[in-house]
Amino acid sequence: MRTSHVKFYQTGTFTVGNRLLSEAERSVQSTLERTNALNSGHRACQGCGEALGARYAIDAAMRATDNQLIAANATGCLEVFSTPYPQTSWQIPWIHSLFGNTAAVATGVAAALRVKGRTQTRVVAQGGDGGTTDIGFGCLSGMFERNDDVLYICYDNEAYMNTGVQRSSATPPAARTATSQAVGSEPGNVFGQGKNVPLIAMAHEIPYVATASVADVRDLETKVTKAMSMHGARYIHILVPCPLGWGAAPHDTVNLARLATESGLFPVFEAEHGEITDRRTIRRKVPVEDYLRRQKRFAHLFKPELRTDVIAQLQAMADRNIRRFGLLDKEEL
C-alpha cells in the first residue's frame, strides 16, 4: 500500500493530470503549455502508440531544456508518418537521417553545437526498434562508447511496422510477423534470439539507461526529465504498442502497454553507469495470457489449439524478469 491517509489525491499520479495536485506536481501532458511536438494531422494509424510515446517524450524533453532542443530522427514509421514531403508535424527543430545513422547524425549535431558554443541547446536522437536494435546498432554503440552528449530514445513496437511488419531483433518470441509466420511446430518468432538493448546500453556503462511505456506517462516524463538533466550518452527505451502490427484494437494501445508491464514481460527500470538504481513495481499482477490474448500476432497460441507449452515459456520469461528486476514488492512475492 503506497497511499497514506494524509496525502491521498483520488487518482494520485495514475491519471495524466490531477486537479488536486499542486501545479509543480502535474505532468507536462496535462498542461495547456505542452509543445505538442508532434502535431495533429500526422498520418499514423488510429491509436498509434509510437505517435503517443514520441509526443510524451519530446514534450517532456522540451520542457526540461526550456525549448532548446534539436531532434534527429531515423527512418521508420515515426519519420514516414510525420513528414511526407512537403509537410511536417514536428513543431521543433528536426532533422531526418538514414535508417542506420541517427546516432551518428545526433553526435554530429551535438559536436557542432559544442564548437559553436551553444551549450544550452540539447540533442535527442530517436528511432524505432528496427533502426535502433538492428540497422543503427553500430552507430548507437559508438555513440555510447564515446559518451557523446545525446539522449537516444528508442520507440519499441517490436517489429518493422512501416515496411509491413517484419521481424526485428526486438520482436518477442512466438510473435507472428511477415517474416516469422505462424506455421510449423514452433510457430512465430523463435525463442532464444533477439537483443535486449537496454541491458547492452548498460554494459557500455553510460550515465543513464531507462525503460518506460506509454501506459505510465508520469514515469516516462520523469525519466526524460532526469535524462535531460545529465550529460553524456543516455538511452531510453519506450514500449509503444502498434495496433496494426500487433493485431490489436486501436483503443487498446495504452491497455496493452499496461498489461505488458503488469505481467512482467516488459520490465520498467532505470540504471546509472551500468547499475540498476530503480524499478517500477507491478501494481496488479496479471498472467501473460491476459496480454497475449488481446493480440492477433499471438492468436496461434490459442487457436486451433491452446499452446499451453508456449504460453508457459512466455510466462517463464515474465517470471524471470520479475525476479531479475525485483518487479514485485517483497510482501507480494
Partner 1 sequence: MRKPFAVTLDVGSSLANLTGSWRSERPVYVDRLPPCNATCPAGENIQQWLFHAEEGHYEAAWRVLTRDNPLAAIMGRVCYHPCEGACNRGQLDESVGINAVERFLGDEATRQGWCFDPVTTESGKRVMVVGSGPAGLSAAYHLRSKGHGVVIFEAEPLAGGMLRYGIPQYRLPRAVIDSDVQRIIDMGVELRLGQRIEDIQATMQQEGFDACFLGVGSQIGKRAYIPAGDARKITDAVGVLHQMEGEHKPLLGRRVIVYGGGNTAIDVARTARRLGAEESVIVYRRTRDKMPAHSHEVSEALEEGVKLKWLSTITAADEETITVEKMELDDDGFPQPTGEFETMPADSVVLALGQDVDLDLLNRLPGLTIERGVVQVDANRATGVPGVFAGGDMVGGERTVTVAVGHGKRAARAIDAYLQGVHHKPAGKHELATFDRLNTWYYSDAPKSIRPVLDIIRRQSTFDEVVGGLDEANALYEARRCMSCGNCFECDTCYGVCPDNAVIKLGPGKRFRFNYDYCKGCGLCVAECPCGAIRIEAEPD
CB of 312 to partner 1, least distance (A): 27
Q: At what angle do helices 102-116 and 137-146 cross, to 10 degrees?
A: 30
Q: Of the candidates 25, 32, 298, 306, which one interacts with partner 1 according to CB under 8 A?
A: 32
Grid-cell match 516524463, residue found: 221
Return the closest-CA partner of residue 291 out of 319, 262, 320: 262
Return the closest-CA partner of residue 315 out of 158, 191, 137, 185: 191
Binding mask 267-306 for partner 1 (x = CB under 8 A): -----------------x----------------------
Run of H or E including 211? strand 208-213
Binding mask 38-57 for partner 1 (x = CB under 8 A): xxxxxxx-xxxx-xx--x--
Binding mask 88-117 for partner 1 (x = CB under 8 A): xx----------------------------
Q: Is 225 in the site for partner 1 (CB under 8 A)?
A: no
Question: In Å, how far are 170, 302, 313 from 190, measured between CA atoms?
Answer: 12, 17, 12
Kindly indicate which of the ranges 9-17, 104-112, 180-188, 203-211 contains the residues binding partner 1, using the contact rule CB under 8 A: 9-17
Q: Is 29 in the site for partner 1 (CB under 8 A)?
A: yes
CB of 12 to partner 1, least distance (A): 4
Distance CA 27, CA 16 (A): 7
Under a CB-based contact definition with an 8 Å cutoff, are residues 269 and 279 in contact?
A: yes
Q: Report residue 309 as a C-alpha cell.
A: 507449452
Structure letter (DSSP) for residue 250: G
Q: Is 67 in the site for partner 1 (CB under 8 A)?
A: no
The residues binding partner 1 (CB under 8 A) are: 1-3, 5-6, 8-12, 14-20, 27, 29-30, 32, 36, 38-44, 46-49, 51-52, 55, 82, 85-89, 217, 243, 249-255, 258, 284
